[in-house]
Amino acid sequence: MNRRSVRLLFFAVFWLAFPFLAPAPLIYRPGEGWTYEPVGGEGRWIQTRAKDQLDVAQAAFDKRAYSLALKAARRVVQVWPLSDYAPRAQYLIARCYQVKGKDEKAFKEYQAILEKYPKAGNYDEILRRQYEITDKYLAGKWFLLWNTVPVPSWVSAAMDRTADMYGTIVKNGPYSEVGPDAQMKIGSAREKESNYPLAVKAYEVAADRYHDRPKVAAEALFRSGLAWQKEAQTAEYDQGAAGQAIAVFTDFIALYPNDPRVPEAQKIIGSLKGEQARGSFKIAQFYERYKKWNGALVYYNEVLLQDPNSPYANAARQRLDELKRRTQKAAQ
């Protein structure tokens, strides 16, 4: 290393070691990082006691000076993390991010309160704020990847993240005011990404966990059936999802016979049985086309078992009679 490089290195180390001497508006403090300080006002917001520092943060927040409130509140948390004033300071950090529209950061800062200070007196309020933030993403607000790159709400990863946020809320307070709705909205997020099996799982959890709340349980069971119905419509030859939907709607009718959606559930069951019959008829035709007579017999018979009044029932009976005659001749 030449003499010039050594000299530059020495001055750089000296400047970093004594940042408080620098007149520049960017100030570095060990343990606090870099902050912007207007010339002539360096350090005036800094206090030597946690309460006084929190007062600075609160006063700045009340005046909508959110940048100052943020750094003053963050200093309370960093310098006096175990003080009685740290929970309120952490709350102000989250509020600053929320009012500035940085909702994902705000959600994380609210979560920090619940994890670091679980006995916080405003626990329910924090859950409501997390819930309100997550609702924005469910409604279509874009996430920011690396706090920079916008991620459209229709991208699967965005709804996956939204479902995780609702899951965090449920974990924080499953029986809180917002817990049941958050659990239901996990299912809504999964449906938006067309992941119907995971949507069903979310609704099933809601129906089971909140079985003593008929309104929530009935809604969860009904929406579980709808999710199975959507899954059945995505796979023409997969009749399992249709069967699951029929079973769920049948349970719904049995458990909540006075629910105003019972006629709708009955209508859906009828259409699903018709869809099952159509699928079985097509499978039977497939087997018959390739002269797999036994397979064709099984599925034509399924058409009659699934819906004897479907438009495919008469054709299935005719094909059954023809195939039975053919197999009997072959056996003679």
Please indicate, yes or no, if residue 51 is contained in any of the structural domains.
Answer: no
Please indicate, yes or no, if residue 272 is contained in any of the structural domains.
Answer: no
Of 164, 192, 220, which marks where a domain is finished? 192
- How would you write the chain as a 3-class SS string? CCHHHHHHHHHHHHHHHCHHHCCCCEEEECCCEEEECCCCCCCCCCCCCHHHHHHHHHHHHHCCCHHHHHHHHHHHHHHCCCCCCHHHHHHHHHHHHHHCCCHHHHHHHHHHHHHHCCCCCCHHHHHHHHHHHHHHHHCCCCEEECCCEEECCCCHHHHHHHHHHHHHHHHHCCCCCCHHHHHHHHHHHHHHCCCHHHHHHHHHHHHHHCCCCHHHHHHHHHHHHHHHHHHHHCCCCCCHHHHHHHHHHHHHHHHCCCCCCHHHHHHHHHHHHHHHHHHHHHHHHHHHHCCCHHHHHHHHHHHHHHCCCCCCHHHHHHHHHHHHHHHHHHHC
Q: Can you give the residue range of the structural domain that contains 236?
A: 194-259
Overall number of domains in the chain: 3
Please indicate, yes or no, if residue 147 is contained in any of the structural domains.
Answer: yes
Considering the domain architecture, whether residues 204 and 239 belong to the same structural domain is answered as yes
Instruction: List, for residues 191-240, the tens digit of each pLDDT value.
Output: 999 999 999 999 999 999 999 999 999 999 999 999 999 998 886 555 78
Mean pLDDT, the chain, as a whole number?
86
Please indicate, yes or no, if residue 239 is contained in any of the structural domains.
Answer: yes
Instruction: List, for residues 126-163, the tens digit of each pLDDT value.
Output: 999 999 999 999 999 988 766 666 666 556 688 999 99
Please indicate, yes or no, if residue 98 is contained in any of the structural domains.
Answer: no
Give me the pLDDT at residue 306, please: 82
Of 192, 224, 246, which marks where a domain is finished? 192
Instruction: List, for residues 243-261, the tens digit of each pLDDT value.
Output: 999 999 999 999 999 999 9
Query: What is the identity of the amino acid at 272?
Result: L
* Residue range 155-173: mean pLDDT, rounded: 91
